[in-house]
Amino acid sequence: MPSLYQHNHSEHLLHVLFEEQQKSLHISETAISSIANSLNLPRSQVESVVEFYSFFHRQPRGRFDILFSNCTCCGDLSLMKRLCDRLNVEADKTRADGLVSIGQTSCIGMCDHDASMLINGVTITSLSTKIIDRMAELIESETSLSLWPGSWFQVGNNIRKEGLLLSEFFEPGSALKAMAERSHDDIIEEITASGLKGRGGAGFATGMKWRFCRDAAADTRYVICNADEGEPGTFKDRILLNSHADTLFEGMTICARSIGATRGYLYLRGEYRYMLENLESTLQQRRESGLLGNNILDQGFDFDIAIVVGAGAYICGEESALIESIEEKAGIPRIRPPFPVTQGLWGQPTVVNNVETLVAAAGIVLHGHHWFETAGTWQSKGSKLISVSGDCGRPGIYEYVFGITVQEILDDAGAENVQAVQIGGPAGRLIAADHFSHRIAFEDLATGGSFMIFDESRDLLEIIHNFSSFFAHESCGFCTPCRVGTTLLKNGMDKVCSGHATAHDLDELSRTAALVSRRSHCGLGMTAPNAIRDGLKYFPDCFEKRLLHKEMEPEFNLDASLEEARQLTRRDDAEAHL
């Protein structure tokens, strides 16, 4: 049954809950009931959504609610500890006076800006001990965020290398005018001829996707832009949303006309909320210029776009989970088949494309497929935006034609003594130096664009540990292998990193990793064990040198098991520890 949101944009459940969280600092039992009533949704649906998304809380958060990124590239938990100490607050526990709460969140897409955080949903980057100390004072004096140094909230683009997409100066409406006289078949042909493949990482042929959607029998179709850029280490969509939003919306409009959609959605990750106002105003300008709305540019078709803002759930980057989220539900990936192109949003054929894909599509329609197709390799046409972060002198966005080698990127980024590169984020591949001659391409190293560099000073085991915690935290929990398996893998890595593991534990890790990869319901589970599997394969020494050489070691940590007894007896002295 279609929800109210289909007709009334302001009342999307996620948006109503965000407002409530901001206003009351939590979502109370009473609020759940009253929101369920006012939106005419089952109470259990509202409750399950509150419990599913990380940015909603059942217990009150502080008036300053801070979430430090725990990403290997835009996170620094020593700064979190410093702020906790300065403000005399425990992580994840709201201070007794209700002033402040501090916690962690998954990568917030600021990997080119060093340590970053969200405060009351707004991004602050490039944190330092100096900033943290000043911040503690501002919080303690309860100074309004509007009076904080404006420079803290600046997010730069950090474009280091421009190519086909980034060098484009795009005149709003130009691509729509270019397709004025062309049939929808003609446009889909153009996209197909360009060889454009999905830029989210999976690489499905875009023209074919549009064709399937167009050919599916239905009264209504939808186009959705996936701007839930959640893969740690990826931030290229942030730059496109910030500086190429018109091109993106034009790409969506072209897609809409090609497939016969009248409604589109931009699903923006909650971490990028700071861009919402600009995106809304770009949409408004396009409406006023006749580029959205009824009878666009007198071409006889209607189309408009609404923005849905997520609330902290990596899984919503999976297209069917994203659709569930737009439908005001928890982001649980659907059973496939049917695929969204035949049964997507509200059961109608739906195209879900990545931001970069739609930007490229607008360029292809404007310049013709040759513009795109002549660049790249035989199976990977055009250019790719790479988000470079980690241990290098020049982190940022690099646009390359497909076929660039890993080493060339490392050289451009000024990376030295590189131990490993994580390509495609934690869900991608961890590669060692002997793989640096490989190329970025669908037929070699496929990637959504995350490129994290780790030099010799890094403890790779801790990186892999971080990734396994990330997946255990982000697993939606729908299927058994991923729900239980990602936690088993995280627990296994806990044990290895704490120096308590034996060779048997590594066998267990590999066995569980293989099962989770092969038997999970969706891409999250299928890729979650990648870093562990690559680590065991390419960096076995990292694991082995941390092993405790014993025949057997108990699964449980005896000292940690005594914690409850210590709490009950209010003891924490040396005698109370093993």
Partner 1 sequence: MSKTIKIDGIEVPFETGQTIMDAALAADIYIPHLCHKPGLSPHGSCKLCTVDVNGRAVSACTMPAEAGQEIDNNTPELNEVRKSITQMLFVEGNHLCPSCEKSGDCTLQAVAYHLGMLDGHYPQFYPRREVDASHPTLVLDRDRCIMCELCVRASRECDGKDVFAISGRGTSRQLIVNSETGKLADSDIEPDDMAAHICPVGAILIKDHGYEVPIGRRTFDLHSVAETDLEEVILKKTVHHDQDDESVEKEGGVYGV
DSSP for 462-516 reads HHHHHHHHHHHHH----SHHHHHHHHHHHHHHHHHHTT---HHHHHHHHHHHHHH
Report if residue 43 touches partner 1, rule: CB under 8 A.
yes
Backbone φ and ψ for 309, nearest 5 degrees, come out as: -105, 125
Cα end-to-end distance, the chain, whole Å: 58
Specify the DSSP element, H or E, that contains 21. helix 13-24
Taking CA atoms, 173 is separated from 242, 362, 541, in Å, by 18, 10, 56
Report if residue 413 touches partner 1, rule: CB under 8 A.
no
> How many residues bind partner 1, per CB under 8 A?
40
Structural tokens at position 387? 């988000």
Report if residue 548 touches partner 1, rule: CB under 8 A.
no
Binding mask 289-328 for partner 1 (x = CB under 8 A): ------------------------x---------------
Report if residue 202 touches partner 1, rule: CB under 8 A.
no
Report if residue 473 touches partner 1, rule: CB under 8 A.
yes
Binding mask 332-371 for partner 1 (x = CB under 8 A): ---x-x----------------------------------
- With CB under 8 A as the contact rule, the residue among 439, 483, 546, 566 that binds partner 1 is 483
The Cα 192–Cα 199 span in angstroms is 15
Report if residue 469 touches partner 1, rule: CB under 8 A.
no
Report if residue 330 touches partner 1, rule: CB under 8 A.
yes
Length of the chain, in residues: 578
Cα–Cα–Cα angle for 212, 354, 127, nearest 5°? 165
Residue 22 or 44 having the CB closest to partner 1: 44
| Stretch of 142-150, 210-218, 242-250, 513-521 lying at the interface with partner 1 (CB under 8 A) | 513-521
Composition of the chain by helix, strand, coil, percent to 5: 45, 15, 40
Residue 92 or 162 having the CB closest to partner 1: 92
Tell the smallest beta-carbon distance from residue 303 to partner 1 (Å).
33
Tell the smallest beta-carbon distance from residue 500 to partner 1 (Å).
12
- With CB under 8 A as the contact rule, the residue among 309, 472, 493, 531 that binds partner 1 is 472
Binding mask 17-36 for partner 1 (x = CB under 8 A): ------------x---x---
Tell the smallest beta-carbon distance from residue 35 to partner 1 (Å).
13
Tell the smallest beta-carbon distance from residue 103 to partner 1 (Å).
15
Residue 41 or 279 having the CB closest to partner 1: 41
Tell the smallest beta-carbon distance from residue 513 to partner 1 (Å).
12
Q: Which residues contact 397 (CB under 8 A, 6 or more apart)?
A: 112, 157, 158, 159, 160, 161, 166, 235, 236, 239, 385, 386, 387, 388
Are residues 358 and 255 in contact, defined by beta-carbon separation less than 8 angstroms?
yes
Residue 338, preceding peptide bond in cis (omega within 30° of 0): yes
Report if residue 404 touches partner 1, rule: CB under 8 A.
no
Tell the smallest beta-carbon distance from residue 211 to partner 1 (Å).
22
Report if residue 556 touches partner 1, rule: CB under 8 A.
yes
Tell the smallest beta-carbon distance from residue 511 to partner 1 (Å).
8
| Stretch of 62-70, 405-413, 460-468, 509-517 lying at the interface with partner 1 (CB under 8 A) | 509-517
Report if residue 515 touches partner 1, rule: CB under 8 A.
yes
Backbone φ and ψ for 340, nearest 5 degrees, come out as: -55, -30
Are residues 429 and 233 in contact, defined by beta-carbon separation less than 8 angstroms?
no
Backbone φ and ψ for 67, nearest 5 degrees, come out as: -125, 115
Rounded to the nearest 10 degrees, how much is the dihedral formed by the CA atoms of 145, 149, 155, 158? -170
- With CB under 8 A as the contact rule, the residue among 422, 520, 527, 530 that binds partner 1 is 520
- The 10 Å Cβ neighbour count of residue 33 is 13
Report if residue 479 touches partner 1, rule: CB under 8 A.
yes
Report if residue 507 touches partner 1, rule: CB under 8 A.
no
Residues in contact with partner 1 by the rule CB under 8 A: 29, 33, 42-45, 47-48, 51-52, 313, 330, 335, 337, 472-481, 483-488, 491, 511-512, 515, 518-521, 555-556
